[in-house]
């Protein structure tokens, strides 16, 4: 085959270390790489274009829509006060019905137990991803708060997904049973002695 062999160039390496041995060859995107500066510009512009193309469509397709997150302190307090709990090896799930008709997620990974931010963030990512992937299997119209069950935890995504579906259903059933018994007790109290 004629011509100069094309090198497979890692854009991160080019951005971090300059053009180095690739000077005068084709860049990683197929454009001639004349200097390190132009390669950096090409990499930045390509990255920007791919971000713009994906935008909100990608976020809504693969990420969590903002309305699926529980953020307010008042909501967390309401769920802790009225919700029912179910505990597993990985998760403690607190479930409480909402009036929205969609399931929302709240995360509680405390600093007291999880000293390192790296560990807290990893758990949050795993819990969010498990929620996102199992969303169709979860009870609808429920607010869920996920709490790590143990301090020394290193769960896999698959384990977390299985446990989340099971515990969310269990906590939701407990919540419905508790609400039904409270309504029955309230109805008896209203009727009074006859």
Domain boundaries, the chain: 11-62, 67-191
Contact 91, 167 (CB under 8 A): yes
> What pLDDT score was predicted for residue 80?
94
* pLDDT over threshold 70, residue 146: yes
Q: Which residue has the higher pLDDT, 31 or 95?
A: 95
| pLDDT grade for 37, boundaries at 50, 70 and 90 | very low
What separation in angstroms does the CA of 192 have from each of 77, 187, 189? 33, 9, 5
Cα–Cα dist 52/15, whole Å: 21
Residue with tokens 């500066």: 37
**In CATH, what number does 67-191 get?**
3.30.230.10
Cα–Cα dist 14/9, whole Å: 7
Q: Which residue has the higher pLDDT, 33 or 104?
A: 104
| pLDDT grade for 17, boundaries at 50, 70 and 90 | very low
* pLDDT over threshold 80, residue 70: yes
Cα–Cα dist 126/148, whole Å: 11
Give percent of the chain with pLDDT exceeding 70: 65
Q: Which residue has the higher pLDDT, 193 or 74?
A: 74
* pLDDT over threshold 60, residue 59: no
């Amino acid at each position: 085959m004629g011509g100069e062999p094309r090198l497979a160039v890692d854009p991160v390496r080019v951005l971090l270390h300059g053009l180095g041995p690739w000077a005068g060859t084709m860049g990683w995107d197929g454009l001639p790489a004349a200097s390190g500066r132009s390669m950096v510009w090409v990499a930045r512009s390509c990255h920007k274009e791919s971000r713009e193309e994906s935008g909100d469509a990608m976020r809504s397709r693969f990420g969590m829509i903002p309305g699926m997150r529980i953020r307010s302190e008042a909501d967390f307090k309401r769920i802790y006060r009225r919700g029912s709990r179910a505990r597993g090896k990985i998760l403690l799930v607190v479930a409480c019905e909402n009036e929205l008709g969609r399931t929302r997620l709240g995360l509680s990974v405390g600093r007291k137990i999880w000293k390192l931010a790296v560990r807290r963030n990893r758990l949050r990512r795993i819990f969010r991803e498990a929620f996102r992937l199992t969303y169709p299997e979860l009870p609808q119209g429920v607010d869920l708060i996920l709490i790590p069950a143990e301090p020394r935890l290193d769960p896999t995504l698959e384990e977390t997904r299985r446990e989340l579906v099971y515990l969310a259903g269990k906590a939701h059933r407990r919540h419905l049973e508790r609400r039904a018994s409270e309504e029955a007790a309230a109805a008896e109290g209203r009727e009074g002695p006859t």
